[in-house]
Amino acid sequence: MEAPYDTSRAQSTATGADTVTPADPDAAAQVRLTVRTPDAMRELGRRLARLLRPGDLVLLTGQLGAGKTTLTRGLGEGLDVRGAVTSPTFVIARVHPPLGAGPALVHVDAYRLSGGLDEMEDLDLDVSLPESVVVVEWGEGRMEELSEDRLHVVIGRAEGADGPSLDEAVAGDDVRRVAVTGVGPRWAGTDLSSLTGLPG
Ligand SMILES: Nc1ncnc2c1ncn2[C@@H]1O[C@H](COP(=O)(O)OP(=O)(O)OP(=O)(O)O)[C@@H](O)[C@H]1O
Ligand SMILES: [Mg+2]
């Protein structure tokens, strides 16, 4: 399997330090984080929420159990939307209306959306996507057409040279490495440093 993050450039991850790295060719902003606990993942979601505006698209990538839904739960808290964010196992998309003046959160699980964007439009969600924040689990490679601007969050378990020692792994180390990359003009020059320094 391809590494979920680019280990060649994540030089300081051995110490767990956060890094704001030089951008990928099409990355307008990028930050790499160490997320040690589910609570810290939720906090990352709450902090991300403060950066998001109506019409924003967030693509979440990471294997089963990586923490995509946990992050989205924090996003829902930060955006102050109605309804608990849960794993959308039996539905493909769930709309969480705003409790206040902010945007709705549309939480999509694209795992079973073989038709990608077309199928998503066929869902006929009773919500205006340009006025919502749309978060798509398993969205990479399927949902890019939704917007030239997107925030791509890649969650990987710590492994290889940067991973936990065997002792730590046996003790149930839960460290995740997360890369947050803004793509497109919307994210050009955006300061993502508020995402660094998560607790834990
Ligand atoms: N550092 C961490 N960050 C996030 N989740 C963690 C962390 N450590 C342990 N966990 C646990 O990993 C699990 C993540 O589950 P979650 O449903 O968020 O993953 P997911 O990526 O949405 O999975 P799926 O692909 O099945 O939708 C939870 O049980 C959570 O408690
Ligand atoms: Mg999930």
Structural domain includes residue 177: yes
Which position has the token pair 């964010």? 85
Distance 80 CA to ligand 2 centre (A): 20
* Structure token pair of residue 8: 């060649």
Q: Give the CATH number for residue 33.
A: 3.40.50.300
Structural domain includes residue 193: no
Pocket test for ligand 1, best of 61, 70, 92, 175 (most atoms within 8 A of CB): 70
Distance 150 CA to ligand 1 centre (A): 22
Structural domain includes residue 6: no
Quick one: which atom of ligand 1 is closest to the CA of 109? 27
Structural domain includes residue 198: no
What confidence tens digit (pLDDT) does each residue in 145-192 have?
A: 778 899 999 999 876 545 555 444 444 448 999 999 999 999 998 999
Distance 191 CA to ligand 2 centre (A): 27
Closest residue to atom 9 of ligand 1, CA basis: 174
Counting DSSP H helices and E strands in the chain, the numbers are: 4, 7
Structural domain includes residue 89: yes
Which domain does 137 fall in, by range?
13-188
Structural domain includes residue 1: no
Quote the CA–CA distance of 48 and 59 in Å, as a whole number.
Answer: 13
* Structure token pair of residue 96: 């969480």
Which region among 96-105, 115-124, 128-137 has the lowest average model confidence (pLDDT)? 115-124
CB 71 within 8 A of CB 47: no
Q: How many domains does the chain have?
A: 1
Q: Which pLDDT score is estimated for 122?
A: 76
Pocket test for ligand 1, best of 42, 64, 69 (most atoms within 8 A of CB): 69
Closest residue to atom 10 of ligand 1, CA basis: 38
Which position has the token pair 């330090």? 17
**What type of residue is 14?**
A
Quote the CA–CA distance of 161 and 169 in Å, as a whole number.
Answer: 13
Name the helix (H) or strand (E) containing 46: helix 38-51
**Percent of the chain scored above 90 by pLDDT?**
54
Distance 84 CA to ligand 2 centre (A): 13
Q: Which of 72, 89, 68, 69 is nearest to 156 (CA)?
A: 68
Structural domain includes residue 8: no
Closest residue to atom 30 of ligand 1, CA basis: 38
130: DSSP letter: G
Q: Which pLDDT score is estimated for 48?
A: 98
Q: What is the largest CA-CA distance in the chain?
A: 50
Structural domain includes residue 28: yes
Which region among 103-107, 136-140, 152-156 has the lowest average model confidence (pLDDT)? 136-140
Q: Which ligand is nearest to the CA of 4?
A: 1
Helices (H), 9-124: 38-51, 68-79, 116-122
Q: What is the mean pLDDT of the chain?
A: 82
What confidence tens digit (pLDDT) does each residue in 47-98 have?
A: 999 999 999 999 999 998 999 999 999 999 999 999 999 886 667 889 999 9
Residue 24 vs residue 3, higher pLDDT: 24
CB 129 within 8 A of CB 136: no
Quick one: which atom of ligand 1 is closest to the CA of 174? 8
